[in-house]
Every structure is written in structure tokens, then in C-alpha cells.
Amino acid sequence: MSLLKPFSKLPDLNTANILLVENEEQFQQNLADTLVEETAVTVNVRLAKSLPLPMENDESRPRIDLVVFIINLTSDKSFESAKASLKYLDPGYFLGKVCFVATNARHASVRTGCLDALRQLAALLHCPLLFAEDQSPEGATSSARRLLTILKVASGLVPNTTALYLSSLTRCTMPPDIDQPSFD
């Protein structure tokens, strides 16, 4: 099993590297296009359908500072695939270098319990769970900007902060059950 490790390579100057994992490969391209527009630092975006990453690119691949799992809540497969990919990450990543992005959370056809399961997973792993409006360009921009906020911290570009510190502030929590909409 080839684990992806957070500190196996030296960082580059003024550079942050992000890996977007999405089974459907729908939203990641959009996100990537917006992410690389950042000017203050060099942002490298790597895309993957799932983990593990292929061995042949291992040499050329920079050190990954943040792994993002994009999960479409209207598809069961999306969640299962992300869940399966998690075990190819070094535990070191779970100290603030993993993040979940959920799309379609407001869709009428969200699979029952899918959102809860995702929340549970994110809460268990102490990772942040962001929600994205993947259908609109503004939604993509804003998601990209939020990911950049996390990425900059995760790659050590923000003084006085660490990924672990930020993740303890942003980790997902389970919302109360009251008034949870019941879908029939």
C-alpha cells in the first residue's frame, strides 16, 4: 500500500500544493481553474479520481499540502469512493491537512442519511467539511477561496498559525437533530 505522506518532500519556496479528489470529476476542474488564479503564492493543483495515486508520477509530484475530497451528496458512490480513498493517506494528514467538500447539499434528492454519514466521518477525523454551490460560477469561486484559506495555512504560509491549530477551530461537528428535515 503506497501511502501519501505530508512531509516526504521538501517544500518549494512560496508554493502550495493541493490535491482534489473527486470520483465524478465534475467539480474539481472548475475549482482547479479558480485556484490557480491566486497570485500571492504559486498554487499547484493535482487532480485525482481516487486514491492511491499512481506510482509512476511519484517522483514528479510535489509535496501535497492539502487533500480535498469532493463528495456529491446525491450519489452514494461518491461518498463510498472517498471513504475508500482515505486509507491511502498517512495519518499525518489528519492533523489538519484533509478537508471535505460536499456538493448538492440543498438538493431535493439527497440520499437519506448520506449527509449525516459524511458529517460523522468528518467529525470523527477532525476535518473541516465545507459546502459548495458547484452549479454557479460564484459558488465555485467562493469555494476555491475558502480552500485557499485552508491551503495557505496547511502549507505553512501564514505566520503564527499551523494546520493543526486551524483544524481544531474548523473541524466538523454534528448538528443537533431538532428540526432536521425529514425527506420522504
The residues of the shown chain that bind other proteins, judged by CB under 8 A, are 3, 5, 7-8, 10-11, 13-14, 74, 87, 90-91, 94-95, 102, 104-109, 115, 124-126, 128-133, 135-136, 138-139, 141-143, 145-146, 149-150, 153, 156-162, 164-166, 168-173, 175-176, 178-184
CB of 165 to other proteins, least distance (A): 7
Our CB check for other proteins shows the closer of 25 and 120 to be 120
Kindly provide the b/e burial profile for residues 70-90, where b requires at least 16 CB atoms within 10 angstroms of the residue's own CB.
bbbbebeebbebbeebbebbe
With contact defined as beta carbons under 8 Å apart, do 146 and 130 qualify?
Answer: yes
Our CB check for other proteins shows the closer of 77 and 145 to be 145
Our CB check for other proteins shows the closer of 48 and 147 to be 147
Q: How far apart are the first and last CA of the chain?
A: 41
How far apart CA 67 and CA 106 sit, in angstroms, is 24
